[in-house]
Amino acid sequence: MAERLSEPILSVRDLHVSFPTDDGAVLAVDGVSFDVGENEVLGVVGESGSGKSVTSLAIMGLLPKRAVVTGEVLFRGVDLLTLRERERQELRGGRIAMVFQDALAALNPVFTVGHQLAEAVRAHNEVSRQEAKSRSVELLDIVGIPNPKARHDQYPHEFSGGMRQRAMIAMAIANDPDVLIADEPTTALDVTIQAQVLEVFERIQERTRSAVILITHDLGVVAGMADHVLVMYAGRAVEVAEVDDIFYDSKHPYTRGLLGSLPRVDGVETRRLVRIKGQPPSLLHPPPGCAFHPRCDHADLPGSCNEDRPELAEIAPGHRSACHFAARLPTVEAADAEFAPLVDHLNAGSVVGPPSGPTELGPVDTLRPPGEAG
């Protein structure tokens, strides 16, 4: 697991992004900092509207002009936010590339896939059309598209969902980027296809040794791929840790809530899925103190939780959490035990509802409300 071997390739320092509206500024990203090094995968997790995508677009420099971005985005020590548009354009798709979530919408319907790939190659390399074409056929092959020569001249609508996402990945790695940002790369795909696409990602990363920022609401994807995890809530980082610490020793009630809403299919436990009560807060009028306090079971109210905003503080080496009670939270095992009475209660049949059991699916809508995307 990831010991930091090298200097980070990309460092985000105290990133703030706000959008002015008629009702006031919406603070979409509020002081986020993180590092990603070579061959490292940072998973960024959070509900819709937690600022994951805005963070990635800020790194790419693709936010609309009205967005106010402050802080630092250091790429190999150079602050991208101070660069001119031309210089950023050279980095985009070259050194820093991005995979978008809905590949059907993200590919231009009127150009062939091969044309769009070759375009990415030619945007950063002085090569002939022929060379660009052979490179893009090669790219399609790398991401595992069968018969890449014929597929090269097809349009996006002639590709299946999984193949489109592979083509998106091929486009992103066209110039062997140092930083690869993947925004929900598997969200629009079937589960089986998701696994294939993730496998492509892993294979690609072995080749390119890129620093990968993997944005997702799918904790399963994070568990399989990420070295470090950044959990975001209401535009702020609430917990940062190595992936195992997130899953086995989370020190933030919100992360625990996310984990609790994951179904276990290994048959170990028979607890009911929990969901985080309430809705994500308005970014226009965020709650005072800790933004999570209205939904938190552990909140001290009224008290520190709705008065003081907890800062992200180191509670163990490499493990930071923004919670007043981070050190005092019960262990994960103990927290699971809290549900035991509830499970018994359900098994006794005194509550009308779906039978509980290992395969029970409780409310899973917490992570992604229908029709929305992170």
Partner 1 sequence: MVTFVIRRVALSIPVLLVASVLVFLFVRATTDPLARLAQVNDPNAKTRLALQIGLQEEPCRPVVTTGPDGNAIEAKTPGGQPVLGCKKVPVATQYARYMGDLARRELPASQLTGRPVSQELRQALGSTIQLIFWGVLVAAAIAIACGVYSAVRQYSLLDYAFTGLTFVALAMPPFWFGLMAIQFGSVYLRDRFNLDDPLFYSIGIESDGPLSYARHLALPVATLGVQIIASWTRFQRSSMLDVMNADYIRTAKAKGLSRAKVVLKHGLRNGLIPLVTVMAIDIGSLFGGLIITEQIFSIPGMGRLFFTSLQNGDVNVLLPWLLLSATFVILFNLLADVLYGALDPRIRVS
Binding residues vs partner 1 (CB under 8 A): 60, 62, 85, 89-94, 97-98, 100, 102, 105-111, 119-120, 123-124, 155, 157-158, 168, 171
User: Which tokens go with 359?
Assistant: 């395969």
Residue type, 316: A
Least Å from the CB of residue 157 to partner 1? 5
Report how far residue 253's alpha carbon sits from residue 338's, in angstroms, rounded to the nearest whole number: 14
Place of tokens 């992604």: 368
Closer residue to partner 1 in complex, CB, 36/346 = 36
Least Å from the CB of residue 62 to partner 1? 6
The DSSP 8-state label assigned to residue 39 in this structure reads T
Least Å from the CB of residue 131 to partner 1? 17
Helices assigned H by DSSP within the chain: 52-60, 85-91, 103-106, 113-124, 129-142, 148-151, 161-172, 191-208, 219-225, 243-248, 253-260, 332-337, 340-347
Place of tokens 């436990």: 269
Least Å from the CB of residue 25 to partner 1? 19
Closer residue to partner 1 in complex, CB, 180/230 = 180
Least Å from the CB of residue 190 to partner 1? 20
Least Å from the CB of residue 51 to partner 1? 18
Closer residue to partner 1 in complex, CB, 104/273 = 104
| b/e sequence 263-297, b meaning 16+ C-beta within 10 Å | eeeeeeebbbbbebeeebbebeebbebbbbbbbbe
User: Which tokens go with 74?
Assistant: 């250091």
Closer residue to partner 1 in complex, CB, 79/90 = 90
Closer residue to partner 1 in complex, CB, 91/323 = 91
Closer residue to partner 1 in complex, CB, 148/156 = 156
